[in-house]
Amino acid sequence: MIALFILIPLIVLAALGAIWKARPVHAALLLALSLSLVAVLYLLLGADFLGLIQFSVYVGAVAVLIVFSLLITRPSDETKEIARRPQSILAGLICAVPVLAVLVYSVSYSIGSDEVSESSPSQFELAELGKSLFTTYAPAVMAVAVMLTAVMIGAALFARDFNQRES
């Protein structure tokens, strides 16, 4: 519980940095920090497997992809971004604050109805997860597999430079 109280502000702070930093690479690195802290949160909650998967996918793949494409695309200079800030923040707040209000209201509403005890939290069973992955959820696994193959081919096709075809 104490660990949660320490970790959650850190996650929010890192996420705030990720959306606030004008320099794109800083934003991407703070996103990586925030998501790896979410991985630590999963570990704390007892979902070891998911925590490690979260860490290796988000830090090892997604964050690396993002910084890589930031390097390739030479991001536009941040002075323009900063100059545009007042109006964009106003617009963002107008849209985001009602959403937050609705979300928090619905969460408090749904929790307040029945008391959830802290005792006897569920245990993470990796073997059970693996078994059901290839029995109950086999169609979903196959669908994801097909999707990942399609994504790999599609991404390779998209990213290919058609103008300078190699000999």
Partner 1 sequence: MTPLALLLTLSCVLFTLGLFAVLTRRNAILILVGVELMLNAANINFIAFWRYGQAGVEDPNMIGPMFVLFSIAIAAAEAAVGLAIILMVFRHTRSTDLNRLDSLHG
Partner 2 sequence: MNFLANQVDLSNAVDAPAIWTTLEALPQLPNRLVEWVGFQMNAPAWLATLLGMLVSAAVVVGVFLTCFALVSLVERKTLARIQNRYGPNRVGPWGLFQPVADGIKMLTKEDIVPDKAEKLLHLIAPIMIVIPAVLALGVLPYGKEWVPVNLELGLLFFFAVGAMTELSVFIAGWASGSKFPMLGSLRAISQMVSYELPLLISAIGVIMMTGSMSLPSIVEHQSQYNFGFISNWNIFTPWGLVGGIVFFIACIAEANRCPFDLPEGESEIVAGHMTEYSGFKYALFFMGEYLGLFAISGLFITLFLGGWSAPFAGLEFVPSWLWFFGKLVCVIMTMLWIRGTWMRVRMDQLMRFCWLFLIPLSLLTIPAAGIWRFCGDGFLAGLLGWGVTIPFLIIPYIIITVILNRRLAPATRQYHFAE
Which residues lie near partner 2 (CB under 8 A)? 25, 29, 32, 48-49, 52-53, 55-56, 59-61, 63-64, 67-68, 71, 126
Which of partner 2, partner 1, none sits in contact with 12, Cβ below 5 to 8 A by type?
A: partner 1
Which of partner 2, partner 1, none sits in contact with 55, Cβ below 5 to 8 A by type?
A: partner 2
Q: Which of 120, 124, 118 is nearest to 50 (CA)?
A: 124
Does position 73 interact with partner 1 (CB under 8 A)? The reply is: yes
Residues across the chain: 167
For every residue of 26-67, DSSP letters joined together read: HHHHHHHHHHHHHHHHHHHTT-HHHHHHHIIIIIIIIHHHHH
**Residues from 113 through 152 that contact partner 1 (CB under 8 A):** 116-125, 128-129, 132-133, 137, 140, 144, 147-148, 151-152
Which of partner 1, partner 2, none sits in contact with 14, Cβ below 5 to 8 A by type?
A: none
Amino acid at 27: A
Does position 166 interact with partner 1 (CB under 8 A)? The reply is: no
- Tell me how crowded residue 9 is: count the other CB atoms within 10 A of its CB: 10
Helix (H, G, I), strand (E, B) or coil at 125: coil
Residues 6 or more apart in contact with residue 80 via CB below 8 angstroms: none
Does position 36 interact with partner 1 (CB under 8 A)? The reply is: no
Does position 79 interact with partner 1 (CB under 8 A)? The reply is: no
The whole-angstrom separation of Cα 167 and Cα 158 is 19
Which of residues 61, 138, 142, 146 is near partner 1 by CB under 8 A? 61
Q: Between residues 11 and 62, which has the closer beta carbon with respect to partner 2?
A: 62
